[in-house]
Structure 1
Amino acid sequence: MRMVRAAATAVVLTGALWAAPSEAARTPLRDGTAVPVEVLTSDTALVADAITALGGHVTGSVEGEVVQAMVPAGQVRALAATPGAEAVQSPHNVSQLANPYTRIDAAIGTGTPGNEVALTNADAWHTANYTGQTIKVGIVDYFDLSLWNTAEHGPTPTAGNSFCLDTAGFGLCSGASTFAPNSNGQHGVAVAEIVKDMAPGAQLYLATASTVSDLRAAIDWFAANGVTILTRSLGAAYDGPGDGTGPLDAVVDYAVEKGITWFNSGGNGGVDNYVRRTVPTNLATGGYVDFDPGAGVDTWLRLDGANVALDGVRWANDWYLPAAQKSDYSVEFWVPTVDPTTQSNPEHWDPTGNASRITVVDAHQTAGANPLEAADMQFTPTNSYGSYGGITYLRIKLNPGSSVGATPDAMEIELASGLTELGYSQASGSSARPVVDSRSIGLIAVGAVDPAAGSVIAPYSSQGPTTDGRIKPDLSAPSGLTSTIYTGASGFQGTSAAAPTAAGAAAILQGAHLANPLTTSALLRSFATEYGDLGAPGADNVFGAGKLVLPDPPAAPALGYSARSKYVPLGAPTRVLDTRPAPDHVGPAVLTGPYPTQTVFEFHVLGTGGVPTTGVSAVAINLTSVGSLSAGYVQAYPSLRATTGATSTLNISSIGGPRPNFAVVPVGEGGNISVFLPVGGEAVIDVMGYFADNQTTSSDGRFVPIPTPERWMDTRGLGGAPLPLSFGGRPRLAAPGEVIDVPVLRTTAVPATGVSALVVTLTAADASANGFLRVMPKGMVNPQHSNLNCTPESAVANVAIVPLGANGQLSVGTQRSVNIILDVVGYITSGTTAAGTTGLFMPITPGRAADTRLAPPSPLIGGSIRRFQITALTAVGAPVVPGSAIGISGNLTVTQPQASGWLKVFPGFEPPTSNLNYGMSQTVAAGALLKLDGSGGVNARMSKTGHVIIDVNGYFLP
């Protein structure tokens, strides 16, 4: 058997121990010969300095993972002994194509050219003029541009659209932007065809990169050219434990940090490529791993193929253990001395006594090597036995002196080329491979549904979970489509065809301003679950979230609300959705949590809880996060009418607890609102009222902001604010279970008549324990809602629109002992006022009007006042508010405050009131209805230094 590696020369070192997995490695090297190497290290700067000191030069790196270099051959051993060098290896080619061997005889690949466009509903988006226009899509692959057809693939790539880097000398490039002739060059052109079928308006950027460091450089090139979507239908050898860490996963993280959504083929390891076996703790030292899937014993794993390539042999459960605790295995390669196919039981013939051992690979785990052997190894057997051009046997030996340890080892073998022994492979776990296993929110691993129009996963499509138990693939897409490049009966198969299908769909969504690079994955997965869920309900390790299908497109590119709207309060806040399981659950059964992080779901709000089925432009809600899994934010927004992740509705600083916030949410396509849960957990929606559209003029339902917000009650007795009459003039904490009537401020600007409801900010401070407050019309019987959740750690505020009760008053009830502050910012007119347009509401596409974190960061200094312009903004993503607006509906957020304090936002003179309260380093949001000054802006003041964000979802007419 002749053994070769991808590189022309190969040296593998771990510490000072040699391992020689290739013929080239066994060849003596002269000191003057420079060889390419990769050094695995967590200290790239230290190793780079060592390389220079040894007379070499660095050719690339991935921060904290690997340094690639050319070094004198005589210095390789010294480099391996350098502090910080964990291992030295020949550079791995990270651009593997699909395994060319298969036993699959099923009728797959029965699609038609461009069929993925109809199957994903992309054709409906094209008809509505959403084609991915303005979006730049990068493709990492091999390319033969002589096959480029401008009618199918778009304009012929120029030097400005092409990148090629091959620092290891694999022969892939003829220059910085010139692809060398390559027998695999048709693959990338076929990928490009699918992207252009799906997103004909997108612009393509092509790259070939041989090593992980070259790929890192390609990411810089993509980012510099404004690429926001990358698709890569390639594999790579094992370089980590399968849990989303390792050099290639670090490159994914880097790309996402650069604003790129990465689509990757999920892998074709579902059949005859991947074997995983549990090694029992009682395996004797010097014993061999048993591959038999049943009760028998078989320590010889047959590999078929004239050219066999391994992704590696890995037992990831030992990855993070100290060297002394790792199981130490070696991998042996044998060739049969007689033809197994002529023996009895040929597929599972025992070659003992009839095979010759060719080589042993042993990286010595007890000396510090990772529990990984034979990664990126290729070899060619010296026989042509069998139906696939050769037969080899692989054995895995527990080295003398080593033991399995207290827990069994999960032994994995994956091939990049060749076939594992018939009946021995499995699909489960085959997705635990570099890039595919990434934890990043910007990485989408794509499985294949083949035949394309079917509802079954392709037999070859790799399946999860990852070694740390996460679901993979992330979603699936049609594959097996005839193309102008692959013209055979089976067409363009594999997850290689599925990934660009999903990438093209992403370009459509980004071009329609419905997703950004960090939220594209969440939105696509939500569509796959809602419109293409296959297999077990919800996400699973076969289909991921489901088969990708886009919903029907929005009716117009802009939000398009032209009807003026008036506010209609409900008789009482009504719970319309609670995703917690029974007995708490309210709403459709399909919307039952808990939800994982990065989840998007749609809720049909029209016709629920007293909201009409038609004629509604927006709803006023209290949105509550419960049981969050991480810190972050939650967004409620009009479905298919706003960018997922562009604004926020509430923020979570304390994981797990309830956190509510008031919001006015425009109603989106189909009468739906969407909820984006980057923090995961549960969501609760209480509706307070709605905005009825088509109001030319109206007497009732108009918002009138008072000139200066007023403090109507403060149980602390501070600043001259009124105390409740029941307090007898003495400040005190409200008692648990107490209901307090809010006194009417004698000097209020709120008129005595013509008022149906007040717009208030309710604040809880000094709470004795976690609990809730509710504000309600005076005299309300048996209230069931809450407006905010209080906590002893810091004051908490929230906004509410509250109908007036008996004697035109409000009441506040509390569950805990707490101080209560109530501020009034405006009112809603009643039917007794004269009809007019002033204060009617116009919902808009939610947008961010101000964010002091943006470069250059400019935090609001504690005690200072800064003005923020709200109207007539022209920046991309900014809300469109005309200069005539008198007020806005939106959300205020404070983040990174240096100490506990408050924020107040006001149009003119500074009021005694506040809009929200925050603790040190917390991120806190509060809904707001704000009056604008005469020039369309607001003033903001923080008591302590921090950053301020202002989001806007609508405005009020003059």
Structure 2
Amino acid sequence: MTRRHLEAVVLAAVVVTAGTGVYVVDRAPTPTATFVGGTASGEQPTRPSVPTRIRALHQRGITGANATVGIVVVTRINADHPELRPRIVERRSFRRDPAGQPRGRHGTAAALTVAAIAPDAELLVATVDTPTDARRAIEWLTARGTDVLLVPATVLGAPGDGTGTVASAVERAADRGTVVVAPTGNLARNHWQGRLTPTRRGLHSFGGDVRMRLLPPVGAGTQAGGRVQARLRWNGSAYPRDLTLELYRSGASGVTRIATSERTRTGSVRVERLDARVRPGDLFVAVRLPNRTVRRFEPLPVRIEVTTRRHRLLNATPAGSVASPATAPSALSVGAAAPDDAGLAPYSSRGPTPDGRRGVDVVAPPTVWAGPRDGTSAAAAYAAGAAALIISEADTSSPERVITLLCDTAVDVPPAGADAESGYGRLNATGAVERIEAPKGRTEDSQPRTKPHTRC
């Protein structure tokens, strides 16, 4: 297989399984990534319905006034939307080709969710294409004095320990006093991780089987097919050799290899990308090791991860599927609550992170959303609006204080206690506001806390 070092990256708005998300994907110098999902910009989404408890806060005059929310968007935003026109105070594009901004509803939907929760907050919007664009956008929004920064994007293939271009920019923004909110991702059913286990066939064993079967996206028929996009990631320091991700078809004539991956990242974190268009059928992926390096046929001390963008994995492992920039230590990492608020949405990514952190701070309802499908981006936008409400009422806008309020007042969901699936529980904007209101006159340091921590 011919290997190329792929240096360019592009952001893509896509619909995955049961959620809408924005992803950073690798591409070759000749672009192979496409923008999938969303609708034409001529269609104007309506303002999402506001939950009763949030409306009650608005009726008390708690509307996010005097708070500013910065939003990093990928798809073209409809700044002339009647709900957004009076709220957007500044816009800037960091794309090389601003006119080439892809059409879609994701950016507009994120802004509408924030405006629905915090209707008097001012919005600043930055449009981006690459992680470098996103870094510059975060720096610009931070320099503009933004109180809350929403980054509704997931970086596929980035290090999971909170480093990387976008996650590092998030850390710097938090250091300068900005509350940064990011979705955990919609990858719980599209992710597998485990120890690299060689077999005598030269393939990795996924818990006893060298095949990882692909399932179609939810609602997309009974067979996998169409565009298949997958990533293989591993620690290059622990295993400094090549691994290859391969796509196979199983049929009446036997098993046929139909696509192989290309390298997109080298160094301490290595990434292989597979991108192919195939007809529907019985498809599976496999991880190939170079035979000359295999000496022991037992699990090696190195973890590998396989992640797909659209297709579900038959034996997915939700644990560890949280993605950058939500993996940044200072970000408020937000997952999606189940529709009945009793647990976690099945697609919502989980922790822990590779460096042992929980990875999820809270979950929020993803239903306050004007896009075609909800997801963790919708949940994060809800949380960003809630943070704006807190800042408009509190005497401080420090990230630690705001995030601590949101975590301390969250409603626990099973299993009991803070965990890597739902963090501290379901976000409770009303409880957070009431915490800072009662009793009046109490200083920040003397306000009671229900958990002994300075932030999530």
Q: Which residue of 2 aligns with 1:361?
A: 262
- Equivalent residues in 2 for 1:36-185, closer than 5 Å: 89-93=6-10, 95-101=11-17, 114-115=48-49, 117-118=51-52, 121-146=53-78, 148-150=80-82, 152-155=83-86, 157=88, 161-167=90-96, 171=97, 173-174=98-99, 180-184=100-104
Residues 160-190 of structure 1 deviation map (CA, whole Å, 9 limit, x = unaligned): 61111124xxx5x13xxxxx45232x11111
User: C-alpha distance in 2, partners of 1:507/1:479?
Assistant: 17
- Of 439, 461, 475, the residue aligned with 2:329 is 439
User: How much has 1:232 moved relative to structure 2?
Assistant: 1.8
Structure with the largest fraction of helix = 2
1:455-488 CA-partner distances (Å, limit 9, x unpaired):
12111111111112211211000113463x54xx
Residue 517 of structure 1: how far off its partner (Å): 3.3
Q: Does 1:203 pair with 2:132?
A: no
After superposition, give the CA deviation of every residue in 1:853-887 in whole Å (9 maximum; x if it has no partner): xxxxxxxxxxxxxxxxxxxxxxxxxxxxxxxxxxx
The letter of the residue matching 1:153 is: L
Write the distance in 2 (CA, Å) between the matches of 1:298 and 1:256.
43
Question: CA distance change for structure 1 residues 546 and 115 in 2, over 3 Å: closer, same or farther?
Answer: farther
Q: Give unmatched runs, 5+ long, in structure 1.
A: 1-18, 26-87, 104-111, 175-179, 344-350, 487-491, 560-637, 649-664, 681-958
Letter of the 2:244 partner, please give it. V
Determine the structure 2 residue equivalent to 1:500. Answer: 381
**Secondary structure at the counterpart of residue 397 of structure 2:** coil
| TM superposition shift of 1:429 | 1.2
- 2:194 counterpart (260, 274, 277): 277
Is the aligned partner of 1:379 residue 2:308? Answer: no
2:359 corresponds, among 450, 453, 472, to 472
State how 1:581-592 maps to structure 2 within 5 Å.
Answer: none
* CA distance in 1: counterparts of 2:435 and 2:375, whole angstroms: 36
209 and 642 in structure 1: CA distance in 2 versus 1, 3 angstrom threshold: farther
**Matches of 2:397 and 2:2 in 1, distance apart?**
47
Within 2, Cα distance between the matches of 1:124 and 1:214? 38
Counterpart-to-counterpart distance in 1, 2:50 and 2:176: 29
Aligned residues: 419
- 8 A Cα contact 2:261 2:274, kept in partner: no
Q: Deviations over 1:216-263 (max 9, x none)?
A: 2112221232211011221112221x2222222211111112321111
Residue 411 of structure 1: aligned partner: 304
The percentage of aligned residue pairs carrying the same residue is 24
1:235-634, aligned counterparts within 5 Å? 235-240=154-159, 242-271=160-189, 273-280=190-197, 283=198, 287-291=202-206, 293=207, 296-299=208-211, 301-302=213-214, 304-310=224-230, 312-316=231-235, 321=237, 326-336=239-249, 340=250, 343=252, 354-356=255-257, 358-361=259-262, 369-374=267-272, 377=273, 379-381=275-277, 383-386=278-281, 391=283, 393-401=285-293, 407-415=300-308, 417-422=309-314, 424-431=315-322, 433-440=323-330, 443-451=331-339, 453-481=340-368, 483=370, 485-486=371-372, 492-519=373-400, 520-528=402-410, 532-551=411-430
Which TM-score applies when normalising by structure 2? 0.80
Change (3 A) 1:299 1:124: same
**Per-residue CA distance 1:499-549 (angstroms, 9 max, x = gap):** 010000000111112542322111111111xxx111122211221110011
2-side partners of 1:329 and 1:162: how far apart?
44
Does the CA contact (< 8 Å) of 2:113 and 2:368 recur in 1? no
Distance 1:555-1:216 versus aligned 2 partners, 3 A rule: closer
State the shift of 1:551 in Å.
Answer: 3.8
Structure of higher CA gyration radius: 1
Tell me, in whole angstroms, the C-alpha distance in 1 between the residues paired with 2:246 and 2:324.
Answer: 25
Say which SS state the counterpart of residue 310 (structure 2) adopts. strand
Residues 76 and 108 in structure 2, CA contact (< 8 A), matched pair in contact too = yes
State the distance in 2 between where 1:495 and 1:429 align: 16
State how far apart, in whole Å, the 2-side matches of 1:394 and 1:420 are: 15
Deviations 1:184-210 (A, max 9, x none): 2x1111111110111011001111122
CA distance in 2, matches of 1:409, 1:549: 39
Equivalent residue number for residue 790 of structure 1: none
Q: Pairwise CA RMSD of aligned residues?
A: 3.4
What CA deviation, in whole Å up to 9, does each residue of 1:881-925 have, x standing for no partner?
xxxxxxxxxxxxxxxxxxxxxxxxxxxxxxxxxxxxxxxxxxxxx
Distance verdict in 2 for CA 1:538–1:236, change over 3 Å: same
Cα gap change, 1:97 to 1:640, in 2 (>3 Å):
farther
Kept in 1, the 8 Å contact 2:334–2:376? The answer is: yes
For 1:96 and 1:199, the matched residues in 2 are separated by 27
Counterpart-to-counterpart distance in 1, 2:201 and 2:241:
10
Gaps of 5+ in 2: 20-45, 216-223
Q: Distance in 2 between matches of 1:139 and 1:554?
A: 23
d(CA) in 2 for partners of 1:258, 1:192: 23
Contact 1:263 1:446 in 2 (8 A): yes
Task: Work out whether residues 7 and 264 of structure 2, in 8 Å CA contact, stay in contact via their aligned partners in 1.
Answer: no
The alpha-carbon deviation at position 313 of structure 1 amounts to: 1.3
Contact 1:334 1:393 in 2 (8 A): yes
TM-score (norm 1): 0.40
1:244 to 1:678, Cα distance in 2 relative to 1, 3 A: same
Q: Provide closer, same or farther for how the CA distance between residues 372 and 221 of structure 1 changes in structure 2, counting only shifts above 3 A.
A: same
**Structure 2 equivalent of residue 188 of structure 1:** 107
User: Counterpart of 1:393 in structure 2: which amino acid?
Assistant: V
Structural mapping, 1:458-857, within 5 Å: 458-481=345-368, 483=370, 485-486=371-372, 492-519=373-400, 520-528=402-410, 532-551=411-430, 641=441, 644=444, 673-674=448-449
**2:335 and 2:422 in contact (8 A); partners too:** yes
The structure whose RCO (Cα within 8 Å, separation 6+) is larger is 2
